[in-house]
Each structure stands twice: as structure tokens, then as C-alpha cells.
Amino acid sequence: MPSIGIATDCALPPERVLRGAYDFSQDRPLAWPAVRAEHLTVHELSETTADATEGTPLASESTGNDAATTGPGPAGSLQP
């Protein structure tokens, strides 16, 4: 599977950033304001992976998230 690496400076603790990346609950639009709840569909969610389609009224993206390759998710996310 292709991967994209991103590097930036951020004042938030790493745990909080990862929590936002791994959270596929109804709260995902709170971490990602451009994502609209009505455009978020979680197709499959397990302890370490997620397959979701998310987006805005103008665009959507189907993505997979694998915590086995990106690291464990914080409580309340991909990890129970």
C-alpha cells in the first residue's frame, strides 16, 4: 500500500495528534474540520486498521489506516 509521510512543527503533544489521526468515531470532524460527518463512512474498523471514506461536499477520499505500520493508537481510537 502506498504511504505518505508528513513532517511539520506542532505545539500539540504527539499523543494528541495521533489520537486525531486514529479516531474514526463521530468525533472525527472535530479533529478534522474539513471532514463533514455526512461524508464520513467507516467501512471496516478493527483494533489496528480502519477503512474509511471521508471528505467534503466537493471531494472525498477512501483511505486505509494501519496502526501496525504507523504505531499503536491511543485509547478511544483504533485501539479499544
CB half-sphere exposure, 65, CA atoms < 13 A? 26
What's the domain range around 33? 14-70
Q: Provide the pLDDT for residue 13.
A: 92
Residue 42 lies in a domain: yes
Calculate ∠ Cα 66-50-18, nearest 5°.
60
Residue-wise pLDDT tens digits, 63-75: 666 655 545 444 3
Residue 3 lies in a domain: no
- What is the rounded distance in angstroms from the CA atom of residue 44 to the CA atom of residue 61? 15
- What is the rounded distance in angstroms from the CA atom of residue 28 to the CA atom of residue 36? 9
Least confident of 3-7, 8-12, 14-18: 3-7
Residue-wise pLDDT tens digits, 18-58: 888 888 888 888 888 888 888 888 999 888 788 888 877 77
In the chain, DSSP assigns E strands to: 41-45, 49-55, 60-66
Task: Give the chain's domain count.
Answer: 1
Best-predicted range by mean pLDDT (10-14, 49-53, 57-61): 10-14
Residue 7 lies in a domain: no
Residue 33 lies in a domain: yes
Residue 54 lies in a domain: yes
Residue 78 lies in a domain: no
